[in-house]
């Protein structure tokens, strides 16, 4: 294995950093992104620039978002001669992706690639869902356990709020797994590379949709009625109107059932 991450800056455990160093998996991710000449690509968490270098080599324009000051300084030095490279030193959770696209002189949608830190993958995914129409496709690497939750089918104990939110905005495809040995430092868990493509159909939700999901999944072992009763007085009536057995658990509901239930509850809630 060729290790491209043997020199500083070092990975910071506090930021959940693990640098991908195995050339085989780096190449596989680049193939999945399929960068084209002059194409605009947003990269989250470029680390030491393993993916960045190859994206630029394909002729793509890259806007890299990096929070770590040491890594940002190293990236700025490494790619200082690259006119197609833009470094944004910021927290991705505070970023407006549309502004990035405009600053690149590109048009929406663009592609996005990311090796997401394990410790903030969930909030980043929620942020991406909020701005999902900015990207035509996203190639994202998460901890494998997170991906198993994202693609969990109705009835699976791994299905949760994040699953439903992801389904509502994206079609998700699990591409391949990456072993701990492909990183430096080596994490304790496997990772999975996934492709996210925004849904073509427009699904509308009420302002309280996330509140509904958070309440329904608040206690995994309770029935959906027992959970919803905590916040929604007419929960039983709404469930029966939606043709959902109140004794079912939240993890058993399909996205279609959540959409119907959301509409019914939003209509019954006082304005």
- Whether 224 and 174 map to the same domain: the answer is no
| Domain finish residue from 167, 198, 229 | 198
pLDDT given at position 270 = 63
pLDDT given at position 45 = 92
Residues 86 and 99: their CA atoms lie apart, in Å, by: 13
- Whether 43 and 156 map to the same domain: the answer is yes
Q: Residue 96 domain-assigned?
A: yes
- Whether 136 and 167 map to the same domain: the answer is yes
Q: Residue 223 domain-assigned?
A: yes
pLDDT given at position 200 = 85
| Domain finish residue from 143, 164, 198 | 198
CA distances (Å), origin 110, targets 21, 213, 235, 251: 26, 30, 41, 33
- Whether 184 and 222 map to the same domain: the answer is no
Instruction: Check: CB of residue 143 under 8 Å from CB of residue 122.
Output: no
Longest dimension (CA), the chain: 64
CA angle 179, 185, 188 (to 5 degrees): 50
**Number of compact structural domains in the chain:** 2
Residue 37 domain boundaries = 13-198
3-class state of residue 14 by DSSP: helix
Q: Residue 54 domain-assigned?
A: yes
Instruction: Check: CB of residue 67 under 8 Å from CB of residue 91.
Output: yes
Helix H or strand E segment including 209: helix 209-216
Query: Rounded mean pLDDT of the chain?
Result: 91
pLDDT given at position 16 = 55
| Domain finish residue from 146, 163, 198 | 198
Residues in the chain with pLDDT values less than 50: 1-6, 8, 11-12, 14-15
Rounded to 5 degrees, φ, ψ at 222 are -85, 160
Q: Residue 25 domain-assigned?
A: yes
- Whether 220 and 146 map to the same domain: the answer is no
- Whether 167 and 237 map to the same domain: the answer is no
3-class state of residue 102 by DSSP: helix
Q: Residue 218 domain-assigned?
A: yes
Q: Percent of the chain beyond pLDDT 70? A: 93
- Whether 91 and 147 map to the same domain: the answer is yes
Q: Roughly how many angstroms between the first and final C-alpha of the chain, as a whole number?
A: 61
């Amino acid at each position: 294995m060729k290790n491209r991450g043997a020199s500083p800056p070092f990975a910071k455990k506090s930021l959940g950093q693990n640098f991908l160093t195995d050339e085989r998996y780096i190449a596989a991710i680049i193939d999945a992104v399929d960068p084209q000449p002059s194409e605009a690509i947003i990269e989250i968490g470029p680390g030491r620039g393993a993916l960045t270098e190859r994206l630029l080599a394909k002729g793509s324009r890259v806007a890299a978002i990096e929070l770590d000051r040491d890594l940002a300084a190293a990236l700025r030095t490494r790619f200082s001669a690259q006119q197609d490279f833009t470094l944004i030193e910021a927290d991705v959770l505070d970023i407006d992706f549309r502004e990035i696209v405009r600053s690149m002189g590109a048009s929406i949608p663009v592609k996005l690639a990311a090796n997401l830190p394990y410790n903030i993958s969930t909030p980043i995914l929620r942020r991406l869902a909020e701005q999902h129409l900015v990207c035509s496709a996203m190639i994202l690497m998460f901890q494998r356990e997170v991906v198993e939750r994202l693609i969990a089918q109705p009835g699976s104990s791994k299905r949760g709020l994040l699953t439903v939110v992801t389904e509502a905005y994206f079609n998700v495809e699990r591409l391949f797994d990456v072993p701990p040995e492909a990183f430096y430092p080596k994490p304790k868990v496997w990772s999975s590379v996934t492709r996210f493509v925004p849904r073509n159909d427009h699904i509308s939700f009420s302002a309280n949709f996330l509140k509904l999901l958070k309440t329904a999944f608040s206690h995994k072992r309770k029935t959906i009625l027992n959970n919803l009763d905590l916040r929604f007085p007419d929960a039983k009536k709404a469930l029966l109107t939606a043709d959902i057995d109140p004794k079912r658990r939240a993890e058993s509901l399909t996205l279609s059932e959540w959409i119907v239930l959301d509409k019914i509850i939003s209509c019954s809630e006082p304005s």
